[in-house]
Amino acid sequence: MSPSQEEYVMHAMSRSAPREAVGSVVVAEHHTPIGRLALAATDEALLYCGFFPPETVRERLAAGGRECWDEAGADADQVAVMAQARDQLDDFLAGGRRSFTVPLDPSLATPFSKEVVLAVAEHVPYGGTATYGELAAAVHRPGSARAVGKALGANPLCVVLPCHRVVGASGRPMGYAGGLRAKRFLLDLECRG
């Protein structure tokens, strides 16, 4: 992730929640074939799945008014959401699952980023790809491929909301928060499935 993308994501995470406390969040690390993922869960949903270190996620969520815990301080509902997310990620990354049923809370995304990542989930099926330009057209913003790329870079629910399915106009993988190796792994996994 480039420094400008990182700043954009961090700004979005810290300003997405109101300044007053809005509930506690458990933040943990999960090791996967595409690298270390940080996961954050509320009592009801997965809030974050991404490549920032857990410490960075905790800092940004706290700046947005959320109380953050590690798994030792989590309540039973948070533990259940976290376990469901881990199990489904592991199953997906092993090729045994094509979609996720863990409840999601995309509130860390900016409104445009949320619109874009939800459009990927809706318009680009498992094993398929779309270009940034095609996705821009799908969200009724033709000619906004760069803005779409920036919005995808701010996806707070990587893998689960499949921004990895968006490729350059040439059809080649471009830009991904977890790096091109992770993006290629995910695209190859889906092509084999």
28: helix, coil or strand?
strand
User: CA 73 → CA 43, 52, 58, 159, distances in Å?
Assistant: 13, 21, 14, 26
Q: Which two tokens stand for residue 89?
A: 């990620």
| Residues forming the active site | 163
Contacts of 157 (CB under 8 A, 6+ apart): 46, 48, 49, 50, 104, 106, 109, 117
- Which residue has 């959320």 as its token pair? 66
Calpha distance 164→176 (Å, rounded): 7
Q: What phi and psi values does residue 67 have, to the nearest 5 degrees? A: -90, 125
Check residue 90 and give left, alpha or beta (phi > 0: left; psi -120 to 50: alpha).
alpha
